[in-house]
Structure 1
Amino acid sequence: MSQVTLRSFHADDVEGVLALWEASSRSAGQPVYGLAEVLASCEKDHAVVAHAAGRLVGAVVGRAAHAQGWVVFLGTAPGHESLGDRLLAALEREMTGTGLTKLSALLTDDPVGLDAFHRQGFRALKDLHYLERDLPLQRAEVALLAELGGRMLPRDRWDAIGGMTEEKGLLERRLVVPLAHPEVADRFGVAPPRAVVLFGPPGTGKTTFAKAIASRLEWPFVEVFPSRLAADPAGLAGALRETFAKIAALEHVVVFIDEVEEIAGRRGGEPPSPLQGVTNELLKLIPAFREQPGRLLVCATNFIRAIDGAFLRHGRFDYVLPIGLPDAAARRAIWQAYLPAGADGRVDLADVVASSEGFSPADIEFAARRASQSAMEHAMATGSDPTALTGEGPTTQDYLRAVASTRATVSAEAAAEFQEDITSLARL
């Protein structure tokens, strides 16, 4: 065997390390650390390479994290497996003196690599699990997302929506699964949706569902506010065009436009409405938006009948989905969120839920806060010192009185019109 020389990594060793990493991925499965991480650590952290007969036959790469060092990669060419011990020892010598107290490694099930670590004094620790998660937002996107006023939403938004099983099931099947698992959609010939309209009476949770979809997909959520864009020197149409151009730079995104009828209303009339130019601009932006994968436009409206017919046609929006008033299970979950701690035992929630049929989520929130305020004020009437109040909090009767004195946002006429709109305009 040719004489082997160990030395620190040089820039011209990149191709050799790349070849070792690719060979390792073929023989022992995907290495724990990706190629980009390995190459970055070669240049910025610690790396030792082995050369024999003019070619690179081994490499070990390490990275320091506070007082702990990590072996990022260990690879040897066929016939040079015994070099693993020497490479690890050389890396340890190079990293000694940098304040490290421990050197650790995460490995795939590669017997050759494991043996080298064991011979060098590494020990396997029991009851440890390697867990990893791909971060949904890359560094380059953070500043752009902040500029757009967007954000990543907590992952629990979807599960936090209680009840509404029919609506959630529909959104799961039509939107979430094809977008989250494009390979599955492709196998069945399903084209992932790019744009949808959510319609329904005011306060039924259309915005909540849009955010829940973004949360479920773990995509950034960007809400476009036409009223804010109108103040732009470029005008509403120009500002809208510029906003969508910036959004195009994000890898994944859910874009939300609420009350879209304000900028996509029926065109016509003499003289033409000043917003017709904005509607035309939006109609041109949607096809371009649809060409990019990994994005979803969600438009919401309380007045689906007011939207221009060209806006809703096939080819622009994949689905036009109704979001109605919460069912009993959803109302129960909403009420539960507003009950003070310890109220479960003294409040007949079934009665409260039944009495609030026809209420929107916003109506329930208003009634719940009214009941709490009323109960506190009643307790205050018995004494002047708020800290000495002895009341236990709202009772069933407090909630029932609050429901009775709250006018539902959605009238019977509006609810009937919604059912008609489902028949004539929904596209499921």
Structure 2
Amino acid sequence: MPSFRVRDFHPEDVEGILHLWEEMRDSPAEPVYGLSEVLASCQEDHAVVAIHDEKVIGAAVGRAAHAQGWIVFLSTTLAWQEKGVGRAMLGALERKMAPYGLSKLSALLPDTAMRVDAFVDQGFQVKKNLRYFEREIPVQRKELSVLSEVGGRLMARGLWDEIGGMAAEKELLERRLVMPLSKPDLAESYGVVPPRAVMLFGPPGTGKTTFARAIASRLEWSFIEVFPSRLAVDPKGLAGALRETFLKIADLEHAVVFIDEVEEIAAQRSGEPPSPLQGVTNELLKIIPAFREQPDRLLVCATNFIRALDSAFLRHGRFDYVIPIGLPDEDARRSIWERYIPATAAGDIDLGELVKRTDGFSPADIEFAARKASQSALEKTFYPDDPATIATGPVTLDYLEAISATRATVSRDVAAEFLQDIELLARL
């Protein structure tokens, strides 16, 4: 029988491992780990190969984390299966990883894998009633430093579902933004170009920031909020700092970039001589087209005063959609109240009355009223008007009093102007 030998992985073995991985992928036993992970572990972790006639006929790749070791990849060519190659490579790999003080060495195999003899012969035990769960981590390790530099973060999963009510707005954002961005290949097959920039507008406190964060959470993309007020103190000036921030963001694979109150840096340009702020507006107008050329990016701008924006800022080619975000509807108000009413009191509160009485309130208004009611109830417990009264928590009257004492952020005039803006400026 022709002989083979097992040795450490060399960089020139990459092509051979590529063929092994593709051969396994095309067989019923699809690899558990992706090719990029296997090759990365070859370079950074532990790997051995089996050689015959100076050709790679097998490979075993392992990774160690604390006292736990994992077999990332084990494969031999079809011609060399059942000839002891797998056992020999596993033995060599285990010896190579021994100095790391591993207490356990494990392997994950696809359920269609037929050859498990190599593992059994090396002392591995088949564990019954186990399931393998996998989730892709959206931000790679190499991106974390860039994310930290620009003040970005990953939003918690589930923010999208936490937005109660607002069904029309959520459906619109899901269809126009989330779906084509999360399925770019499918969108392209229909001739749809995934959006690159969107403007959210509406009265103050209506949840535009919440929607921007929820979009990032829904996509599982990095979320970077750009604060013009912070960039303004940069020695390079606001325009230079803005340009440098977007250059750094270009190093991220996926990103939702959010600029709130964008009217601060994109207001109508006028006056002679040009003001310093006009230079910032010009810089932003240059940044957006360059940003749009990069895939897997979404710029979300928000404004309370869309009429104040420079006319060139909203034109076609810069923003794909201009979407209104209005005051919460009845279902949304109910959801917001449920979030702030403590569970111990929820069953005794007339939630329907609170929802009815807060028509025209923004989410921020409802939060303020809810916290005010809770504070009032707490104070009544410690400082009761009647010492004989035993307070057990907030009641409906506490909330109604707090609602009466809360001034709505959005006036009737502002609400009417918002409806006009929808007619004149919305682009859905």
Interval containing the TM-score (normalised by the shorter chain) = over 0.9
Letter in 2 for 1:315: G
Residue 156 (structure 2) aligns with: 154
Does structure 1 retain, via aligned residues, the 8 Å contact 2:29–2:113? Answer: no
Displacement after TM superposition at 1:55 (Å): 2.8
The 5-angstrom pairing of residues 12-411 of structure 1 reads 12-42=12-42, 45-82=45-82, 83=84, 84-92=86-94, 95=97, 99-382=101-384, 390-411=390-411
Displacement after TM superposition at 1:46 (Å): 4.2
SS at structure 2 position matched to 1:70 = strand
Does structure 2 retain, via aligned residues, the 8 Å contact 1:2–1:53? Answer: no
Does structure 2 retain, via aligned residues, the 8 Å contact 1:51–1:58? Answer: yes
SS at structure 1 position matched to 2:64 = strand
In structure 1, C-alpha distance between the alignment counterparts of 2:196 and 2:126, rounded to whole Å = 48
Q: More displaced, 37-46 or 336-345?
A: 37-46
Task: State percent identity of aligned pairs.
Answer: 65
SS at structure 1 position matched to 2:116 = helix
In structure 2, C-alpha distance between the alignment counterparts of 1:246 and 1:12, rounded to whole Å = 34
Structure 1 residues 258 and 19, CA, compared in 2 at 3 Å: closer, same or farther?
A: same
SS at structure 1 position matched to 2:230 = helix
Structure 2: where are the runs of 5+ without partners?
none
Instruction: Map Cα deviations across residues 204-228 of structure 1 (whole Å, 9 max, x no partner).
Output: 0111111111111111111111122
Letter in 2 for 1:396: T
Residue 414 (structure 2) aligns with: 414
Does structure 2 retain, via aligned residues, the 8 Å contact 1:81–1:112? Answer: no
In structure 2, C-alpha distance between the alignment counterparts of 1:11 and 1:423, rounded to whole Å = 62
Displacement after TM superposition at 1:270 (Å): 3.9
SS at structure 2 position matched to 1:359 = coil
In structure 2, C-alpha distance between the alignment counterparts of 1:143 and 1:94, rounded to whole Å = 32
In structure 2, C-alpha distance between the alignment counterparts of 1:301 and 1:41, rounded to whole Å = 47
Displacement after TM superposition at 1:7 (Å): 4.0
SS at structure 2 position matched to 1:204 = coil
Aligned residues, how many? 426
Instruction: Map Cα deviations across residues 42-74 of structure 1 (whole Å, 9 max, x no partner).
Output: 455544433333433223233333333322222
Structure 1 residues 410 and 44, CA, compared in 2 at 3 Å: closer, same or farther?
A: closer
TM-score, reference length from structure 2: 0.92
Displacement after TM superposition at 1:11 (Å): 4.9
Does structure 1 retain, via aligned residues, the 8 Å contact 2:51–2:57? Answer: yes
SS at structure 1 position matched to 2:5 = strand
In structure 2, C-alpha distance between the alignment counterparts of 1:269 and 1:8, rounded to whole Å = 71
SS at structure 2 position matched to 1:128 = coil
Does structure 1 retain, via aligned residues, the 8 Å contact 2:152–2:225? Answer: yes
In structure 2, C-alpha distance between the alignment counterparts of 1:234 and 1:43, rounded to whole Å = 40
TM-score, reference length from structure 1: 0.92
In structure 2, C-alpha distance between the alignment counterparts of 1:422 and 1:11, rounded to whole Å = 60
Letter in 1 for 2:396: T
SS at structure 1 position matched to 2:105 = strand
SS at structure 1 position matched to 2:60 = strand
Structure 1: where are the runs of 5+ without partners?
none
In structure 1, C-alpha distance between the alignment counterparts of 2:406 and 2:249, rounded to whole Å = 41
Structure 1 residues 245 and 95, CA, compared in 2 at 3 Å: closer, same or farther?
A: closer
Please, what is the CA RMSD of the aligned residues? 2.4
In structure 2, C-alpha distance between the alignment counterparts of 1:43 and 1:426, rounded to whole Å = 52
Does structure 2 retain, via aligned residues, the 8 Å contact 1:150–1:220? Answer: yes
Residue 425 (structure 1) aligns with: 425
Does structure 1 retain, via aligned residues, the 8 Å contact 2:266–2:313? Answer: yes
